[in-house]
Amino acid sequence: MNAPLSGSYTVTITPFTPGGERVDYEAWKGFLDWQVACGVPGIIILGTTGEFLTLTDAERSAFVEHTVGLVNGRMKVLVGTMNAYTPNAVRYSVEAEALGADGLMIIPPYYYTPTEDEIFNYYKAICEACGLPIMLYNNPFTSNVDMPAKLVGRLTKSFEQIRYIKEASQRIERVHDIIVESDGLMNVWAGQRVLESYKMGAKGYVNPYGNYIPRASVKFVEWAEQGRWDDVWAVQSIIAKFDAIITEGHPLYGHQCYSKALAAAAGYPVGDVRPPITTFESLGVEGRERVARMVPLMEELDRVVDHIEASRAAAE
């Protein structure tokens, strides 16, 4: 049996050429090499941050295939295969398995506000067609449904592929509740607030910040696994400042365009977002000023991680 997945998995952007005309594979190669060099144990493509709804089926297939090939076993590759239509979610999942993905991340059918039985049957259809490990994705803010702990426990105990969940309901106590309801079978991954989630029993982190601060992201999750809470907070408190800057004057999913702008500031340009999301270019001076406020935070994180690592080494 394969070792359980754990650690900080970057839920990645999807790189586009100017104007969003096509996927930029040259930029993608450099970005993936950077993630590997920073010690990222895995990535999740075609999630919310990856603008999965804006890609055609042909683009999806090519992107999964290219990603698996470019990574070439150096880290795990999970693929978002959700869809509002169950047969499409099944088809995407089967295809990802055939193309060599290591696992799937799947949100419940969005838009429809499905019942618990409808959600159960959606995942059942996927599990019957595909053998990859599945990470449930509970995000009521986008799917319009909040999967309660009892339903997650039911799914976990019914299907052996379902052993992970990205819990993004912003209810930290849900981490513990899911562990209890699944009889300890479910590995809960934080969707936010790493320190608090790990104290409640989380085993991984689905990490949008890995798109521009991958090294610090990897380290503070490693420290959370070790119970080094002061070190975790040293990083998490700075990450909170990114959130404050991004959200103070921009819509909820401004994280997509700023993730790309900050990746570019780190030396890995990956283009802009596709409509209807607000492009970074359209933000003009406002966007550039926000990035100028966040670049020093990126530099501060490097210094904090260096200091913690050096202090730890000196004490050993």
| Overall residue count recorded for the chain in this entry | 316
The 8-class DSSP code of residue 23 comes to B
- Give how far Cα 21 sits from Cα of 16, 58, 275, Å: 7, 14, 11
* Catalytic residue, candidates 76, 166, 203, 260: 166
Quick one: what percent of the chain has pLDDT higher than 70? 98
Domains of the chain, each with CATH number or no CATH: 7-224 (3.20.20.70)
The Cα 150–Cα 156 span in angstroms is 10
Residues 6+ apart with CB under 8 A from 15: 23, 24, 25, 27, 28, 31, 260, 270, 271
The Cα 190–Cα 106 span in angstroms is 15
Q: Scan for tokens 């608090």, then name that residue.
A: 196
Quick one: what percent of the chain has pLDDT higher than 90? 90
**205, 175 Cβ separation under 8 angstroms:** no
* Catalytic residue, candidates 9, 92, 137, 268: 137
The Cα 158–Cα 168 span in angstroms is 22
Quote the tokens at residue 203: 């085993």
Give how far the C-alpha of residue 168 lies from the chain's centroid of Cα atoms, to the nearest Å: 11
203 belongs to the catalytic site: no
Give 81-138 pLDDT, tens digit per residue: 999 999 999 999 999 999 999 999 999 999 999 999 999 999 999 999 999 999 999 9
| pLDDT category of residue 2 using cuts at 50, 70 and 90 | confident
Give 247-281 pLDDT, tens digit per residue: 886 665 568 899 999 999 999 999 999 999 989 99
- Give how far Cα 19 sits from Cα of 22, 29, 52, Å: 8, 20, 17
Give 27-45 pLDDT, tens digit per residue: 999 999 999 999 999 999 9
137 belongs to the catalytic site: yes
**15, 24 Cβ separation under 8 angstroms:** yes
Residues 6+ apart with CB under 8 A from 106: 80, 81, 82, 89, 93, 123, 126, 134, 135, 136, 137
Give 65-77 pLDDT, tens digit per residue: 999 999 999 999 9
Instruction: Provide the pLDDT for residue 294.
Output: 97
Three-state SS at 8: strand
The Cα 155–Cα 142 span in angstroms is 20
Instruction: Provide the pLDDT for residue 159.
Output: 98
Which phi and psi angles does 4 have, rounded to 5°?
Answer: -60, 145
Helices in the chain by DSSP H: which ranges?
Answer: 25-37, 57-71, 86-98, 116-129, 140-143, 149-158, 173-181, 194-199, 214-225, 229-247, 254-265, 280-315
